[in-house]
Amino acid sequence: MKVRLPASIYRDAEIEIDADEITVEELVKILSEKIGRDLRKLIIRNGDLSPFVNVFINGKNVRHEKGLKTIVKKGDEVSLVPAVAGG
């Protein structure tokens, strides 16, 4: 699975994660270890998906699926879309 991290979250990077089937929560943990920055603080709040970051799997918002428990499969494309407010 491929994870896109925009510059406003982490240096603009596309990161490949080798896993067959994991939850978003597990993905965030693996990703944090891989990039050496704890993304859990950003993405998880009170054990739930934080209300100000959106995680999309193949263009679908996991907030409207099973949140952190949503399954990511091999070959999926995950994008993290941060909130921006500039104008």
Partner 1 sequence: MVKLDRSQIRRYARQLLIPEIGGRGQEKLLEASVLVVGAGGLGSPVIQYLAAAGVGMIGIADGDEVDETNLQRQTIHAGNLGMNKAESAAQFVEKLNPDVKVEAYPFSVTVENARDLVRRYDIVVDCTDTFPARFLLNDACLLESTPLVHSAVLRFEGQIMTIIPHETACYRCFLPEAPPPGSVPTCREAGVIGVTTGFFGVLQANEVIKLIISKGELFTNKLLYVDLLHNDFNLIEISKHPSCPACGERRIKELRSEYYVETCRIETD
CA Rg, the chain, in Å? 12
Among 2, 12, 73, 74, binds partner 1 (CB under 8 A): 12
Smallest gap from residue 83 Cβ to partner 1 (A): 5
Gap between the Cα atoms of 50 and 42, Å rounded: 7
Listed ranges 18-26, 31-39, 66-74, 77-85: which one lies at the site for partner 1 (CB under 8 A): 77-85
* Contact flag: residue 67 with partner 1 (CB under 8 A): no
Residue 4's nearest CA partner among 45, 57, 67 is 57
Listed ranges 19-27, 32-40, 67-75, 79-87: which one lies at the site for partner 1 (CB under 8 A): 79-87
* Contact flag: residue 48 with partner 1 (CB under 8 A): no
Residues in binding contact with partner 1, number by CB under 8 A = 24
Give 85: exposed, middle or buried? Use CB within 10 Å, 0-12, 13-18, 19+: exposed
Q: How many CB atoms are located within 10 Å of the residue 58 CB? A: 12
Among 19, 21, 48, 52, binds partner 1 (CB under 8 A): 52
